[in-house]
Amino acid sequence: MASLKELKGRISSVKSTQKITKAKQMVAAAKLKRAQEAAEASRPYAARLAAVIANLTAAAASGGEGGPKLLSGSGREDTHLLLVMTAERGLCGGFNANTVKRAKQEIGELRAAGKTVKIITIGKKGREQLGREYGDMFVDHVDLSDVKGNDFTEAALGLGRELARRFEDGEFDVATLVFSEFRNVLSQVPVTRQLIPAKPPEDAETIDLKGAIYEYEPSEEEILETLLPRYLNTQILSGMLESAAGEQAASMTAMDNATRNAGELIDDLSLQYNRARQAQITKELIEIISGAEAL
């Protein structure tokens, strides 16, 4: 059994750790509110833009036009580019590990189908975890450590331009974003979202024209040429905001659990300390009584 001094030291150490986890929990809770508001505010815009793209795509298809390359694709699906989005920091439970696990699943399925896979990591933790096994597939990395608050606009625009350039240069045929979608404080679900060729969600709202025929000026293809880069940037920005909200929620939950566990450990150690102290006092009393009787 540990001595009283050792138990007292452990209790003091765990109490210090508990103060740290409690402070980090409060910081994450404060950041979560702003991150959640930013993620939720971006959803209506992203959904409306997806609906516009879906309707223009349908109109262009009915007119027999193939559409811009960002929409029609390269005509092949041989090379896939995965953008794996994780956090810059740890201490957020299984948030990063779950996203990396989803990315590994996607990589495994693509390689099994004979596809060439390239990876761009967004966030330090994803690069660290994937680099051990798939480092030879890395083609770029996006550092978000300098982003202040939830202002990911410049990072999203820069990544969008880089993706469009790489696609035009023929470096890949399909680009897919892997990130954790924020559902609520307790649920962040790893999902995939195809960015190039642009593929609006199947549940995107469509407009019922009720048989009416619309003529677009300029043409649907010219409108799509302008909107598709914006759609690409919007999808990337939306993913960053969702991931940031999920990170703070996971961090808050993990730190809350750590604080509770520290409290339980302190209770257990305090009980052990009190028992050891009581046993020591009893032993000393017995020795005193035995000595008095011997006299």
What is the torsional sign of CA 275, 276, 282, 285? negative
Q: Which pair of structure tokens corresponds to residue 170?
A: 């023929």
For 190, left (φ over 0), alpha (ψ -120 to 50), or beta? beta
Q: Is 181 a catalytic residue?
A: no
């201490």: which residue's tokens?
91
Selecting among 46, 82, 84, 92, the annotated active-site residue is 92
What are the strands, taking DSSP E only, across 114-205? 116-122, 138-142, 174-184, 187-196
- Lookup result for tokens 């660290």: 128
In this structure, the dihedral spanned by the alpha carbons of residues 182, 186, 189 and 195, taken in order and rounded to 10 degrees, is: 10
Query: Are residues 53 and 224 in contact, defined by beta-carbon separation less than 8 angstroms?
Result: yes
Measured CA to CA, the distance from residue 95 to residue 98 in angstroms comes to 6
Strand order in the sheet with 138-142: 138-142, 116-122, 79-85, 174-184, 187-196
Name the residues annotated as catalytic: 92
